[in-house]
């Protein structure tokens, strides 16, 4: 070192070592810059992913259906015979064609190659004159024959895996009622129309003969205890006498409701519950003039019927029960077929949907609940003879009049959703009128899902409304006082206390609301209302008394300590109100106010109601609004305040005329952010409401909100199903709502900040 100094400064900054060092540092700097930029950007991208992922799950709901032709071939079996039934099995690999002389051909749907040919066990020279499908999905059919007899048969498929995972489907015919036909009408009368049902307790056949008569047979089933065999015994079935000429007979799956379609375009609905005395429930005029009913089918569930007419209309009708228990057949909705005639219809087995083939060569897929045409496509220039849809509704078979069979793949996952199904009143099966209902699942498989978001949206807003009703005045007034009037010493304590309230887990608030406050309120309802009325009066009264106290006491407490003085008053008033609550209940409400509300005013009272939510969620929202409002009021420049006071305004005048207008954008944004929080809050509503999706503005009733609905139903919903996507949509709606509201609030706040930077 000594020598270096002696020689004078030898500052060699360019030694190779230092050069390398510098290069390394520059490189590190560069790497850090790139790395942080990459990291930062990817984090931000990851966060925006939420938005896009939610959207990605929701979009398929609104996509339209599509169909694509996969194969076309000449119809299997004898082309000269007329097809009466076309059907497919579960996997849509094997198809069935049944012709009028009773020949059944099972064929591969991809090539048209015949797998098995069968003939129904019907006598020589006898043909099928009418046919009726049993319950959807049962693959059971009833054929009415030209000799007046009926045959019950079923197409059956055995799935085996002979070599590991290779699936082999063996089709065949089965005869649940034996291979012999059952004589329904006298010999020589041919059955122009037939209906048959085969369920656990009954086997019923009803047919209309070409002599204009109705014939029916009823077998009741009983199980032999010893052998376990089912024994049939024929029972008397009295059929209605009618003068009209019957063209079609339809029996509901529970065998209790009979529809007779007449030549004159009417449907007569009978109740067969009493087997010896059919009751005419209603006669409905379906079509007028020269228009004829060409087809009537029971929709999935066996409640509603679809009626197709000669002019190409398809309508849904079902019985509606009025308050006096009378059933009338009502037109529920018609479908836009744009067709000049209906050639054939096929019904979906797992949804309330159907396919219609028009005489113009078009195929259209509809959903009844959603009242939506999912798809319409011209498949041929020829006419269409028959149509079939696979049980999973993913393939179609179309027979055209030029003897060809077309095999179409259908992509139609979410036809049960439409704008009207989500947001408008829908007339559901079994209801008296169109209603908003949310009921996404039930125990039975033929259930009609009710996806109206209105009750949920209503519940969300109702909960938020009551919460804001409590929170906004308390939080804003509190914030005004804290920011402007309160002594700094307590302000430093009060602010963190209220902010701590914000950090309180909502599950705790929900628990207290549901298990402590709700029962407490039910027992002390008059007390709750007494508090609401007496507390403000008591506070003002105390203020006035305080102002009139002798100076010696008044000046003992510094300015801005009001809240500390008021806490004992509030506790006292609260205690007093709840103490006299029982007495009030006895004096005014017959000892039980909730009961009194129900009996005297007709207002239903449920323990976990909107008032409870209002208080509990209001409590959760107060700190949010309080904190932001307090900041806004506090950051109003002091020279404005002082100027106003100096000009002789009272503190309150200064507050209302100077401070509040200046701080109002900030207060607005506070309210918006609070609203966002109230709308999205989950645990409190989940725990402190009954979670029943009802639309009722009654403050003493509960509700179900969008967020609670997600929490309740999401874990059980099937991935990719309509229900699953609708829940995602609820999440997306919440996301968008809060995001937009918060952005608006933030924007307003930024404006405010800029404004003051000028002042």
Partner 1 sequence: MQISLKEWTRKGDPWVWLNAGAVAISLTAVLGLLLLITVRGLVHFWPHAIVEGEYQLRDSQPVTIVGEIVSDESVPAEQLRDGGYPVPDDVDFMTRYLIKTGNRDVLGSDFRWILSDALTDRRYPEQLFTLERREWGNYYGYLVSVKENGAEVASTASNAEAAVERFMAGVERSLDLYETIHEIEKVKIGSVNYELERLRLEQRRLELEDRLTPEALAEINALREQENARYKVLEQELGELYVQASRDSVVMRGMSGQETEIQLSKIVRAFQPNAMGLGDKLGHYVSKIWEFLSDDPREANTEGGIFPAIYGTVLMVILMAILVTPLGVIAAVYLREYADQGILTRTIRIAVNNLAGVPSIVYGVFGLGFFIYFLGGSIDQLFYPEALPSPTFGTGGLMWASITLAILTLPVVIVATEEGLARIPRTIREGSLALGATKAETLWRVVIPMASPAMMTGVILAIARAAGEVAPLMLVGVVKLAPSLPLDGNYPYLHLDQKFMHLGFHIYDVGFQSPNVEAARPLVYATALLLVIVIAVLNLAAVGIRNHLREKYKALEM
27-46 binders of partner 1 (CB under 8 A)? 28-29, 31-33, 36-37, 39-41, 43-44, 46
Cα(668)–Cα(495) distance, integer angstroms: 20
Which of these segments, 1-9, 386-394, 578-586, 663-671, binds partner 1 (CB under 8 A)?
Answer: 578-586
With binding defined as CB under 8 A, does residue 681 bind partner 1? yes
CB distance 732 to 58 below 8 Å: yes
Shortest distance, CB of residue 504 to partner 1, whole angstroms?
Answer: 7
CB distance 608 to 690 below 8 Å: yes
Q: Considering beta carbons, is residue 515 or 697 the nearer one to partner 1?
A: 515
With binding defined as CB under 8 A, does residue 137 bind partner 1? no
Tokens standing for 557? 């407490």
Cα(624)–Cα(607) distance, integer angstroms: 28
With binding defined as CB under 8 A, does residue 49 bind partner 1? yes
The correct pick among 139, 352, 371, 677 for binding partner 1 (CB under 8 A) is 677
The correct pick among 431, 447, 485, 529 for binding partner 1 (CB under 8 A) is 485
With binding defined as CB under 8 A, does residue 683 bind partner 1? yes
Q: Considering beta carbons, is residue 155 or 677 the nearer one to partner 1?
A: 677
With binding defined as CB under 8 A, does residue 710 bind partner 1? yes
Shortest distance, CB of residue 452 to partner 1, whole angstroms?
Answer: 20
Which of these segments, 278-286, 372-380, 395-403, 732-740, binds partner 1 (CB under 8 A)?
Answer: 732-740
Shortest distance, CB of residue 516 to partner 1, whole angstroms?
Answer: 7
With binding defined as CB under 8 A, does residue 507 bind partner 1? yes
| 186: Cβ contacts below 8 Å, ≥ 6 apart | 148
Sign of the Cα pseudo-torsion (499, 503, 509, 510, in order) = positive
| 436: Cβ contacts below 8 Å, ≥ 6 apart | 425, 426, 452, 454, 455, 458, 695
Considering only residues 372-411, where is the footprint of partner 1 by CB under 8 A? none
Considering only residues 294-313, where is the footprint of partner 1 by CB under 8 A? none
Cα(37)–Cα(46) distance, integer angstroms: 14
With binding defined as CB under 8 A, does residue 475 bind partner 1? yes
Cα(250)–Cα(306) distance, integer angstroms: 11
Which of these segments, 307-315, 353-361, 472-480, 639-647, binds partner 1 (CB under 8 A)?
Answer: 472-480
Q: Considering beta carbons, is residue 131 or 557 the nearer one to partner 1?
A: 557
Q: Considering beta carbons, is residue 279 or 500 the nearer one to partner 1?
A: 500
Cα(401)–Cα(381) distance, integer angstroms: 10
Shortest distance, CB of residue 50 to partner 1, whole angstroms?
Answer: 5
Considering only residues 270-299, where is the footprint of partner 1 by CB under 8 A? none
Considering only residues 6-25, where is the footprint of partner 1 by CB under 8 A? 25
| 727: Cβ contacts below 8 Å, ≥ 6 apart | 709, 710, 713, 714, 717
Considering only residues 581-610, where is the footprint of partner 1 by CB under 8 A? 582-583, 585-586, 590-592
SS3 content of the chain, % helix, strand, coil (to 5): 40, 25, 30
Q: Considering beta carbons, is residue 393 or 734 the nearer one to partner 1?
A: 734
Which of these segments, 149-157, 176-184, 237-245, 511-519, binds partner 1 (CB under 8 A)?
Answer: 511-519
The correct pick among 84, 88, 355, 622 for binding partner 1 (CB under 8 A) is 622
Q: How many CB atoms lie within 10 A of CB 83?
A: 19
Cα(284)–Cα(721) distance, integer angstroms: 37
Shortest distance, CB of residue 470 to partner 1, whole angstroms?
Answer: 10
The pattern of x and - marking residues 529 through 568 that bind partner 1 according to CB under 8 A reads ------xx--xx-xxx--xx-------------xxx-xx-
Considering only residues 313-352, where is the footprint of partner 1 by CB under 8 A? none
Which residues lie across from 85 on neighbouring strands?
98
Minimal CA–CA distance to 61: which of 367, 316, 479, 324? 367
Tokens standing for 622? 């107060």
DSSP state of 531: H
Shortest distance, CB of residue 735 to partner 1, whole angstroms?
Answer: 5
| 350: Cβ contacts below 8 Å, ≥ 6 apart | 137, 300, 391, 392, 393, 445
The correct pick among 231, 646, 747, 753 for binding partner 1 (CB under 8 A) is 747
Q: Considering beta carbons, is residue 196 or 526 the nearer one to partner 1?
A: 526
Considering only residues 57-96, where is the footprint of partner 1 by CB under 8 A? 57
Shortest distance, CB of residue 732 to partner 1, whole angstroms?
Answer: 8
CB distance 605 to 700 below 8 Å: yes
The correct pick among 259, 512, 632, 695 for binding partner 1 (CB under 8 A) is 512
With binding defined as CB under 8 A, does residue 171 bind partner 1? no
Minimal CA–CA distance to 196: which of 156, 243, 154? 154
Considering only residues 653-672, where is the footprint of partner 1 by CB under 8 A? 653, 655-656
With binding defined as CB under 8 A, does residue 515 bind partner 1? yes
With CB under 8 A as the rule, give the number of residues binding partner 1: 116
Minimal CA–CA distance to 258: which of 246, 271, 245? 271
Shortest distance, CB of residue 753 to partner 1, whole angstroms?
Answer: 12
How far CA 480 is from CA of 3, 226, 535, 650, in Å, comes to 74, 85, 19, 15
How far CA 43 is from CA of 2, 36, 40, 55, 172, in Å, comes to 55, 10, 5, 19, 60
Which of these segments, 116-124, 160-168, 276-284, 498-506, binds partner 1 (CB under 8 A)?
Answer: 498-506
The correct pick among 480, 611, 636, 752 for binding partner 1 (CB under 8 A) is 480
The correct pick among 443, 553, 719, 759 for binding partner 1 (CB under 8 A) is 719
Sign of the Cα pseudo-torsion (284, 286, 290, 293, in order) = negative
DSSP state of 349: S
Shortest distance, CB of residue 576 to partner 1, whole angstroms?
Answer: 14
Q: Considering beta carbons, is residue 220 or 738 the nearer one to partner 1?
A: 738
| 452: Cβ contacts below 8 Å, ≥ 6 apart | 421, 422, 423, 424, 425, 426, 435, 436, 437, 438
Cα(721)–Cα(433) distance, integer angstroms: 28
Shortest distance, CB of residue 163 to partner 1, whole angstroms?
Answer: 17
Shortest distance, CB of residue 547 to partner 1, whole angstroms?
Answer: 5
Q: How many CA atoms lie within 13 A of 235 on its CB side?
A: 15
The correct pick among 88, 356, 498, 748 for binding partner 1 (CB under 8 A) is 498
């Amino acid at each position: 070192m000594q020598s270096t100094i002696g020689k004078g400064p030898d500052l060699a900054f360019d030694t190779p070592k230092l050069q390398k060092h510098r290069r390394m540092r520059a490189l590190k700097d560069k790497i850090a810059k790139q790395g942080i930029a990459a990291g930062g950007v990817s984090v931000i991208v990851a966060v925006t992913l939420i938005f896009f992922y939610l959207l990605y799950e929701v979009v398929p709901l609104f996509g339209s259906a599509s169909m694509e032709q996969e194969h076309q071939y000449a119809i299997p079996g004898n082309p000269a015979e007329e097809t009466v039934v076309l059907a497919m099995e579960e996997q849509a690999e094997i198809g069935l064609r049944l012709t009028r002389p009773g020949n059944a051909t099972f064929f591969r749907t991809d090539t048209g190659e015949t797998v098995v040919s069968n003939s129904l066990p019907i006598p020589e020279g006898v043909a099928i004159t009418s046919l009726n499908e049993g319950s959807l999905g049962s693959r059971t059919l009833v054929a009415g024959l030209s000799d007046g007899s009926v045959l019950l048969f079923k197409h059956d498929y055995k799935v085996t895996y002979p070599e590991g995972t290779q699936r082999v489907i063996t089709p065949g015919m089965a005869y649940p009622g034996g291979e012999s036909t059952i004589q329904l009408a006298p010999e020589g009368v041919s059955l122009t129309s037939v209906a048959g049902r085969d369920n656990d307790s009954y086997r019923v056949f009803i047919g209309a003969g070409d002599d204009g008569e109705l014939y029916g047979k009823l077998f009741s089933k009983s199980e032999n205890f010893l052998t376990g065999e089912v024994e049939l015994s024929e029972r008397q079935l009295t059929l209605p006498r009618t003068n009209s000429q019957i063209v079609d007979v339809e029996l509901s799956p529970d065998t209790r409701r009979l529809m007779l379609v007449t030549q004159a375009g009417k449907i007569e609905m009978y109740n067969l519950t009493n087997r010896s005395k059919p009751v005419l429930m209603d006669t409905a005029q379906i079509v007028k003039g020269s228009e004829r009913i060409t087809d009537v089918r029971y929709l999935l569930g066996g409640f509603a019927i679809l009626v197709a007419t000669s002019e190409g209309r398809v309508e849904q009708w079902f019985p509606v029960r009025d308050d006096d228990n009378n059933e009338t057949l009502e037109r529920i909705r018609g479908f836009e077929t744009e067709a000049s005639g209906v050639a054939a219809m096929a019904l979906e087995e797992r949804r309330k949907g159907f396919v219609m083939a028009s005489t113009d060569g078009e195929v259209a897929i509809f959903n009844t609940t959603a009242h939506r045409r999912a798809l319409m496509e011209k498949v041929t220039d020829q006419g269409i003879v028959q149509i079939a849809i696979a049980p999973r509704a993913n393939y179609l078979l179309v027979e055209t009049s030029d003897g060809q069979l077309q095999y179409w793949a259908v992509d139609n996952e979410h036809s049960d959703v439409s704008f009207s199904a989500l947001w408008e009143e829908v007339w559901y099966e079994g209801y008296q009128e169109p209603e908003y209902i949310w009921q996404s699942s039930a125990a039975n498989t033929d259930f009609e899902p009710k996806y109206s978001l209105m009750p949920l949206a209503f519940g969300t807003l109702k909960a938020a409304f009551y919460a804001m009703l409590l929170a906004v005045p308390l939080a804003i007034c509190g914030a005004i006082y804290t920011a402007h009037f309160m002594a700094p010493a307590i302000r430093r304590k009060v602010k963190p206390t209220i902010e701590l309230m914000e950090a309180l887990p909502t599950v705790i608030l929900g628990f207290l609301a549901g298990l402590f406050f709700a029962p407490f309120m039910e027992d002390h309802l008059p007390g709750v209302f007494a508090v609401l009325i007496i507390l403000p009066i008591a506070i003002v009264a105390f203020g006035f008394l305080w102002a009139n106290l002798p100076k010696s006491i008044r000046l003992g407490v510094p300015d801005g300590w009001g809240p500390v003085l008021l806490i004992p008053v509030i506790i006292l008033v609260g205690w007093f109100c709840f103490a006299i609550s029982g007495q009030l209940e006895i004096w005014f409400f017959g000892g039980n106010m909730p009961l009194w509300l129900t009996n005297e005013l007709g207002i239903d009272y449920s323990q976990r109601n909107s008032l409870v939510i209002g208080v509990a969620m209001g409590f959760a929202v107060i700190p949010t609004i309080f904190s932001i409002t307090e900041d806004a009021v506090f950051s109003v420049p002091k020279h404005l305040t002082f100027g106003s006071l100096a000009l002789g305004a009272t503190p309150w005048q200064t507050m209302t005329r100077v401070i509040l207008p200046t701080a109002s954008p900030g207060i607005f944004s506070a309210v918006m952010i609070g609203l966002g929080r109230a709308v999205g809050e989950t645990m409190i509503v989940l725990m402190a409401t009954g979670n029943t999706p009802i639309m009722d503005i009654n403050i003493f009733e509960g509700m179900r909100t969008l967020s609670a609905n997600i929490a309740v139903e999401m874990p059980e919903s099937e991935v990719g199903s309509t229900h699953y996507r609708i829940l995602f949509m609820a999440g997306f709606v919440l996301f968008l709502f809060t995001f937009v509201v918060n952005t608006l609030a933030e924007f307003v706040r930024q404006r405010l900040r800029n404004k003051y930077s000028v002042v």
